Chain A
């Protein structure tokens, strides 16, 4: 289970990353997921170069095959991340959607 305190601490970091635009630097489609992500596989994870600041690694959402190219423009959004199990707090985090 993810600690609710850890989720609370992470919120400050997440706020700073939301609504930013960037470009896909590299991506992969994951078919063999880690525990907590089984129901989402296959899913796409990308490294995105943000227009302002650093690179960020997150999942891609609302994508079509034509978006899976280096240089694709994306924007950061808030989405549910992993399966919290039966008792955990639902965790939200940064993902990217093509624009």
Chain B
């Protein structure tokens, strides 16, 4: 499999009260089109990754909504898979290109969350969970907190170990001009932050964010000169909606299954990945992702992260150079597309201050719900 990324762009993430979803999308799409030098009319299909337009925004016809904004009359549709909506939209775009039906495909991820009060957002996000979890009054921090407690007990991981993930990702975000939180934090600050859902504290959690991201996919157009970046694997796996229905609380089976497929498609091993964007909706999620993606022996990932093995300038793979969901922000539908853009820029060598030296192969890992959907992409530079 080989689908070329012709362009990628990301908006500023954060509390963007003065920007509408229309303007967010228009901004990232125009920037991406400018990069490819394609005209709007050369886009043959549009896939929109979004979760909450229906429950929070009251807008249910997103394909046409954004076609209108962009002045297009081509096929356009929303792809939804909770927080994995963006990754699934990229997967759908890849299917469209590899089928041969469309040449240039636009994939957009968009979410507008900060217009609503936290209780409403927490309730809307629980749309990604099971009936049973909603009836219990569980929240996503709550579900991941229960996963965290089980993992910490099984592998002897401490709250300070969890905090070290936030410290790393805030450091990376301090180098990212588009991140929501462009400041470093210390383990002490994480430990002292208020409890959201024990043992997870405010600085263990990704924020509520607005933001958009876009990529344009094509096949060997050769529009641009300096070495192309291709998606060489796109794998998806699903699992039970509810955490309680899983036999193991300390691993996400969907990630394990999707990773196995993705490595097989790409013909590579985890040790060959130079840079990765993984789904750190909570600090515990990044630790489990590192286990499940095969980067470190199971149960040992927290130690490696704390020893800076995945921090820029210290070791490989460098993880969440954007700042991750934790510090770059998590506009849920945009996240999966933003991950692709970050790795694309890393492999092009245009990632600025957060550039990973000699990055040739990268991975993105996008999760929906508490692990009910996992989407993994592997990208490779032709350089």
Contact = CB atoms under 8 A, between A and B. Distances in A.
Interface stretch (B42-50, B176-184, B194-202, B349-357): B194-202
Interface in A19-42: 25-38, 40
A20 to B, nearest CB: 14
A40 B136 CA distance: 11
A72 interface: no
B237 interface: no
A55 B245 contact: yes
Given A26-B150, A27-B149, A57-B242, A32 B138 contact: no
Interface string B211-254: 00000000000000000000000000000001111000100000
Query: Binding site of B, secondary structure by majority: helix, strand, loop or mixed?
Result: helix
Contacts of B150: 25-26, 70
Contacts of B133: 57
Contact of A33 (B119, B147, B245): B119
Given A36-B123, A47-B249, A30 B244 contact: no
A58 interface: yes
B132 A56 contact: yes
A91 B138 contact: no
Contacts of B132: 56-58
A86 B136 CA distance: 20
Given A56-B132, A57-B242, A30 B119 contact: no
A95 to B, nearest CB: 8
Nearest to A37: B137
Contacts of A48: 244
Given A25-B249, A32-B122, A56 B244 contact: yes
Interface residues on B, range: 35 or more
A59 interface: yes
A47 B243 contact: yes
Contacts of A34: 119, 122-123, 126, 134, 137, 139
B315 interface: no
Contacts of A46: 146
Interface residues on A, range: 20 to 34
Interface in A43-99: 43, 45-48, 54-59, 70, 81-82, 91, 93-94
Contacts of B196: 31-32
Contacts of B123: 34-36
Contacts of A30: 137-139, 141-142, 145, 197
A10 interface: yes
A28 B122 contact: no
B138 A29 contact: no
Interface of B: 118-120, 122-123, 126, 130-139, 141-142, 145-147, 149-150, 153, 194-200, 242-245, 249
